[in-house]
Amino acid sequence: MYPILFKIGPLTIHTYGVLVAIGFLVGLSLAVKLAKKQGIPGEKILDLGFYILVSAIVGSRLLFVIIEYKYYIKNPLNIFKLWEGGLVFFGGLLAALPVAIFYLRKNAIPLWGTMDIFAPAIAIGHAIGRLGCFSAGCCHGKITYLPWGVTFIHPESLAIRGIPLHPTQLYEAFSEFMVFIFLLLWQRRKSYDGELFGLYILLYSLSRFIIEFFRGDEMRGFIYKGFSTAQGISVVLFLGAIIFMIIRRRGNYEKGIRRS
């Protein structure tokens, strides 16, 4: 709705970038707080957060550029215009995950216990970041005449202007916030390390799959008509999360038997 937060002379501050930054800082602060409760040094989490940020930005942008390669071959300099949107969350997740695993193993920090710490942090950070998408108009929905349809009118908005659209950015922000609340409440009930992380992947991929049906932006890639690239990745991650949780649960159960 408000893609430009303010201008200072030639300097333009975009709302999208500010909210993404706020989301990252909020999520990282939460991760540090949760880590300290488990005896993990906060500075290690801060370092990991930096590596995750860099790899996530590169991965999320790279996946978008790959999906829209025809456009970027003709306009290569636009690859660096991050303020115009074009960050695919799944790309960031897939790039940041191996970086995080490498860092944790190298520093002898519990792998899946730490991933559980980051699960709610990612959810709340992503929820805030999606508000940035709403401000910029990227990741917008299809035309709708439902009462909650949103009409973008700002001349620099990336959404279709003058027509009510599904506020899919708000749908996703709300679903991520609900996942965040659920994960915080589930912490006390988790029975093995990695459970919260598995639940996050499971719940997010499910919600993303559903929300994609309401998306109206064409620059996100399709496996075939009506079935987006993000939906294909959602299916793979959903099934992968189920397999991961079954393996982790079984391993935890077998350890319990050996100890008894």
Local confidence pLDDT in tens for the 260 residues of the chain: 788 888 888 888 889 889 999 999 999 999 999 999 888 888 999 999 999 999 998 998 888 888 887 888 888 888 887 766 677 888 888 899 999 999 999 999 999 999 999 999 999 999 999 999 999 998 899 999 999 999 999 988 989 999 999 999 999 999 999 999 999 999 989 999 999 999 999 999 999 999 999 999 877 778 888 899 899 999 999 999 999 999 998 877 666 545 44
Cβ contacts of residue 75 below 8 Å, gap of 6+?
Answer: none
Residue appearing with tokens 């959602």: 234
Q: Please state, in angstroms and rounded to a whole number, the distance separating the CA atoms of residues 61 and 211.
A: 21
Q: What is the pLDDT of residue 218?
A: 79
Q: What is the pLDDT of residue 255?
A: 64
Q: What is the pLDDT of residue 260?
A: 40
CA-based diameter of the chain, in Å? 70
Strand partners, 228: 222
257 assigned to some structural domain: no
Q: What is the pLDDT of residue 144?
A: 97
Q: Please state, in angstroms and rounded to a whole number, the distance separating the CA atoms of residues 74 and 158.
A: 20
Q: Please state, in angstroms and rounded to a whole number, the distance separating the CA atoms of residues 61 and 206.
A: 22
37 assigned to some structural domain: yes
260 assigned to some structural domain: no
136 assigned to some structural domain: yes
Q: What is the pLDDT of residue 253?
A: 62
Q: What is the pLDDT of residue 200?
A: 97
31 assigned to some structural domain: yes
Count of structural domains, the chain: 1
Which domain does 138 fall in, by range? 4-251
Nearest to 20 by CA among 9, 30, 28, 10: 28
Cβ contacts of residue 5 below 8 Å, gap of 6+?
Answer: 13, 14, 15, 18
Q: Please state, in angstroms and rounded to a whole number, the distance separating the CA atoms of residues 153 and 102.
A: 45
256 assigned to some structural domain: no
Phi first, then psi: what are they for 226, rounded to 5°?
A: 90, -5
3-state secondary structure of 142: coil
Question: Are 197 and 96 a contacting pair, CB within 8 Å?
Answer: no
258 assigned to some structural domain: no
| CB crowding 76-114: b at 16 or more within 10 Å, else e | eeeeeebbebbbbbbbbbbbbbebbeebbeeeebebbbb
Q: Residues 10, 25, 238, 183: is their CA dihedral positive or negative?
A: negative
Q: What is the pLDDT of residue 238?
A: 97
Nearest to 37 by CA among 113, 112, 124: 113
259 assigned to some structural domain: no
